[in-house]
């Protein structure tokens, strides 16, 4: 009885998977360290106990942040300027994990092009640029 051979995994898929894998592992580590730091910090601009109590009480996002010490919903510049705080490190870790798809798409598109899958390479490039532009809100309705 002949043995069935599995088809080889395309290099573009391996490249995409490796980048997503390591991006997820690094971001998970950042989130874990940030969460631990959040609970250990005493001089944080927003206390974790307040955030947990307010969230579990069913308050909406705007109310939670308006009643906090910073009195507004934080934007990206807040998290970048306070990157050593636990909460900021947690948010940066989540963002890094989500955004790791961008280099994965671009690198896999190169290997798609090399393997003569030009249509898929072009579609990957277009989706990569759209993903890169998505956080800017440039093309939102």
Which region holds residue 137: left if phi is over 0, alpha if psi is between -120 and 50, else beta?
left
pTM as predicted: 0.76
Res 25: pLDDT: 96
**pLDDT tens sequence for the chain (141 residues):** 678 888 888 899 999 999 999 999 999 999 999 989 888 887 777 777 788 888 888 888 888 888 877 787 887 787 788 778 888 898 899 989 988 999 999 999 999 999 999 999 999 999 999 888 887 777 666
Angle at the Cα of 65 from the Cα atoms of 25 and 57, rounded to 5 degrees: 85
Q: If you ran DSSP here, which 8-state letter would residue 7 be given? A: P
Q: Are 107 and 19 in contact (CB under 8 A)?
A: yes
CA dihedral 70, 71, 76, 78 (to 10 degrees): -20
In the chain, where are the structural domains located? 11-136
Please give the radius of gyration of the chain, using alpha carbons only, rounded to the nearest integer.
21
Residue 1: the pLDDT is 64
First to last CA, the chain: 59
């Amino acid at each position: 009885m002949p043995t069935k051979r599995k088809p080889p995994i395309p290099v573009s898929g391996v490249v995409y998977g490796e980048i997503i894998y390591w991006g997820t592992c690094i971001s998970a580590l950042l989130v874990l360290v940030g969460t631990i730091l959040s609970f250990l910090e005493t001089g944080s601009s927003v206390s974790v106990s307040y955030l947990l109590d307010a969230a579990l009480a069913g308050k909406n996002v705007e109310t939670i942040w308006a009643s906090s010490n910073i009195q507004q919903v934080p934007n990206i510049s807040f998290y970048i300027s306070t990157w050593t705080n636990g909460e900021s490190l947690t948010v940066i870790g989540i963002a890094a994990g989500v955004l790791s798809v961008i280099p994965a798409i671009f690198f896999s598109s190169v290997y798609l092009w090399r393997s003569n899958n030009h249509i898929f390479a072009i579609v990957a490039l277009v989706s990569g640029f759209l993903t890169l532009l998505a956080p800017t809100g440039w093309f939102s309705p």
